[in-house]
Amino acid sequence: MDRSRAESFGEVAELYDRSRPSYPPELIDALLADDARRVLDVGCGTGIAAALLAARGAEVLGIEIDLRMARLARAKGLAVEVGAFERWDRAGRRFDLVTSAQAWHWIDPRAGAAAAAAALVPGGRLGLFWNFGDPPEHVRELLGPIYDRLEPGVENYSRLGDPRPERARATIAGLATAGGFTAAAVTRFPWTRRYDTAAWLDHLATQSDHNALVPDRRARLLAAVGEAIDSVGGFFDLLYETVLVSAHRRARGRAGGTPPAA
């Protein structure tokens, strides 16, 4: 886990908040299906997911490692504490629901799972979710050679294998190792968002791999990507799938040991 990449998003916090995709209503329905009211959102960023939960009447507390991101979340009226979740002092507080939107892969899977179990009431739910997106084939074929030529080491949708199975497996393994949770379930929510050229370039500029490039190389890459999208009409529809990994804190005990700390 590259913590420096995890903490790079604050450099583009306002752009991140403006350009990153939201989440489908069906996901929020699923997270709140147990009538959770007290919610802890881990790695809340600028509060994109937390604001959706708060709008449904939940009392949401965010934990965010980057102060710049936290400030934007607070500007939305959200309560946010700054720090690393694995070392966060919950001061005896308990929650009905612990969520993490697009952030759990930056957290140590075992330590994070143990901290989540300690923060949940018995029977409370842990809901970890990501947006994964695939541009249409003609866009992937168009962008692939650009990355091959300009930045072959940069990850992008047209080059990578699908990370969904790997992230789900790693998350489920971390929960099982930490103990304290029921067997994890995976639920998928498909939806679509249209991107024009400017919106896609803004989105790429918030990606940690693109943001890590020195400014002139990043500008050269984004200019080439923009020209390519303009050449096919200046927009495309991206098929998203929001993947939710969820489990409940065991009411008593844990797998193979004593119950999580109160």
**Which band of pLDDT confidence, cut at 50, 70 and 90, is reported for residue 8?**
low
Neighbouring CB atoms inside 10 A of 28's CB total 20
Q: How far is CA 243 from CA 119, 152, 163, in A?
A: 23, 28, 11
The answer to whether position 256 is within a domain reads no
For residue range 51-106, list pLDDT tens digits in order: 999 999 999 999 999 999 999 999 999 999 999 999 999 999 999 999 999 999 99
Domains contained in the chain, number: 1
Q: Which residue, 58, 145, 146, is CA-closest to 95? A: 58
Q: Is residue 99 part of a domain?
A: yes
62, containing H or E segment:
strand 59-64
Domain-located, residue 209? no
Indicate whether 51 belongs to any domain.
yes
Give the Cα separation of 243 and 262 in Å (integer).
Answer: 30
Contact by Cβ (8 Å): 42, 127: no
In a domain, 93, yes or no: yes
pTM for the predicted model, two decimal places: 0.87
**Is 41 part of any domain?**
yes
Give per-residue pLDDT as tens, 215-233.
Answer: 999 999 999 999 999 999 9
Question: Which domain range does residue 16 map to?
Answer: 3-135+161-193+240-248
Q: Indicate which CATH number applies to the domain containing 8.
A: 3.40.50.150
